[in-house]
Chains A and B, each alone.
Chain A
Amino acid sequence: MILRLIERTAVLLVSLAVSSVLVFGFMAVLPGDPARVALGVNASDEAVAELRRQFGLDRPLPVQYVDWLGGLLRGDLGTSYVSKVAIGPQVFDRLQVTLILVVAGMIIALLLAAPAGTVMAARHRRLSGFALSALSQVGVAVPAFLAGILLIMVFAVKLGWLPANGWTPPAEDPGMFLRQLVLPALSLGLVQGAVLTRYVRSAVLDVLREDYLRTARAKGLRPFPALWRHGLRNAAVPVVTVLGLQLATLLIGAVVVERVFVIPGLGSLLLDGVSNRDLLLVQDVVMVLVVAVLLVNFLVDLLYVALDPRLRTGAR
């Protein structure tokens, strides 16, 4: 178990290091000079040179990389070439918003998928199971931003129950915060829920075929308690994998949903950065997103071990 923890941690660290090189390298080799990009084509050569010197862009790339990475490790994401404002505080502000959105979406997805998937599996030969299955298939086909638009059309435009867009920090006005959170969180959650439902269904179906579930029934447990006590944890193992991958998808999906609902999250910061040609900002946000995805994968790996005792001894 300790061995596995060390191994996983090593993989995480190497992955982080490699992806930082990738992100930095990608931005560094791009055609055009970040200072020139930031100032626009009409800027004078002197102004560009001045900016390059100011931000250390005239130094060799490895030096710049080490400088950037050192900053990241200290939590200093540098200063924007365009707005001349420190990037770190902005990113962490926006990250909070996105995380709230993603976590809310994930909770909705789980609340939807766990019961729906289980029912689909338990009734997979009956009409109700088939109907749910077809419904989830349709749900999977609807992208989150489309779900968002449809939700706005129904709940904001037609019914007028909820605000169509906007964001209020929870500390400022909790009521408004919640009202504005519902629709974006639903649009993320419904779609991911549909995807997750299919995995829950397949995991529960697998578990239902297991001999130990028959043993549980032979002990005198009725079908549902048997599934609950003996199946849930076993079915959770494959579902947790998907959950990890989905958190990554959600994080990125939030980028688009933030645009639909005009939410000041990490996604809109990234898109603003791209349209303002603020390359360091883009580089930082991409790195933060990648770190988040890698961290989630790492945590999922640890969760596995907690769920499945077979992984603890190292012998698989």
Chain B
Amino acid sequence: MRRLNASLIAGGVIVGGIVLMALVSFVWTPYDATLVDPASRLAQPSWEHWFGTDKFGRDVLSQIMVGSRTTLFVGVVAVGVAAVIGVPLGVLAAMVRRWPSELIMRANDLLLAFPALLLAIMFGAVFGASTLTAMVAIGIASVPSFARVIRSGALQVMRTEYVLAARAAGRQPLPIALRHVLPNVTSLITVQASVSFAIAVLAEAALSFLGYGTPPPTPSWGRMLQESQEFLFTAPRLAVFPGVAIAIAVLGFNLLGDGLRDRFDPKLEDRR
């Protein structure tokens, strides 16, 4: 009898919903998300504009829908960068001898002193603010946690009988890494990817809020929040919609990560 994995289901539904929303926004949104309509500035939510309009008369719902594309895009690239660098680094650190491994992990720890936001602001200062710099900075900042998690998983695999047998049989390190280690840490990679995705969504929102993320006119939830700030007294809903969108997206990826972790390792079920 299997216990219902509520986190996995809830996370899956939320993430699925966001992906669906992003896909739909390619073919249909209620309005053009960037369409400026001075006639209906700061409109209240109504049948025409479900979520109302912003200071330029742009439809908020359409912007939220298109903004989900930005969120997912940044997340995918950032997590991709982090995984492509972090996973091999983690596996390497688990497989090489003592001191090179120590060196990798120390460098890794050092990188932890540069959080995503700081790195992204530095990148922004140097290369100018853009979605690309934000993504790369967030990705690089997520490398250490990937490497750390994968290394501990890979270390466990390295101690298993079948890897010992493969090593005893004289197999080269690379085939061992590809054939034994990597397949056995995929569950860890999935969990970490989901957790990192949530962090990337948060970081992108914060960066766009500060003006170092996605530049206008591309809609972004973080920038919508920033633009809403001057209307906190008159039209607070402008902050609520993107705010809720960000929180739900982060919640979805966190729940998905938790659910996946429980699924792969039921022993940990009670812990998180």
Contact = CB atoms under 8 A, between A and B. Distances in A.
Interface in A279-316: 279, 282, 286, 289-290, 293-294, 297
Interface in B238-272: 239, 243, 246-251, 254-255, 258, 270-272
A29 to B, nearest CB: 9
A13 B209 CA distance: 35
A81 interface: no
A184 to B, nearest CB: 14
B152 to A, nearest CB: 14
B118 A26 contact: no
A56 to B, nearest CB: 21
A279 B236 contact: no
A143 B126 contact: no
Range of interface residues on B (Cβ < 8 Å): 35 or more
Interface of B is mostly: helix
Nearest to A295: B113
A39 interface: no
Given A19-B113, A138-B251, A255-B117, A145 B272 contact: no
A205 B122 CA distance: 40
A138 B106 contact: no
Interface string A15-34: 10011001000110011000
Interface of A is mostly: helix
Interface stretch (A104-112, A149-157, A218-226): A149-157
B229 interface: yes
A274 interface: yes
B239 A153 contact: yes
Nearest to B252: A141
Given A138-B247, A142-B250, A259-B209, 14 more contacts: A30-B127, A31-B126, A137-B255, A137-B258, A141-B254, A146-B205, A149-B228, A150-B243, A157-B236, A198-B272, A249-B115, A253-B117, A273-B125, A286-B121
13 contacts: A15-B109, A18-B110, A30-B126, A137-B254, A137-B255, A140-B254, A141-B254, A146-B225, A150-B239, A164-B232, A256-B209, A277-B125, A290-B118
Interface of A: 11, 14-15, 18-19, 22, 26-27, 30-31, 124, 137-138, 140-143, 145-146, 149-150, 152-153, 157, 164, 198, 202, 205-206, 245, 248-249, 252-253, 255-256, 259-260, 270-271, 273-274, 277, 279, 282, 286, 289-290, 293-294, 297
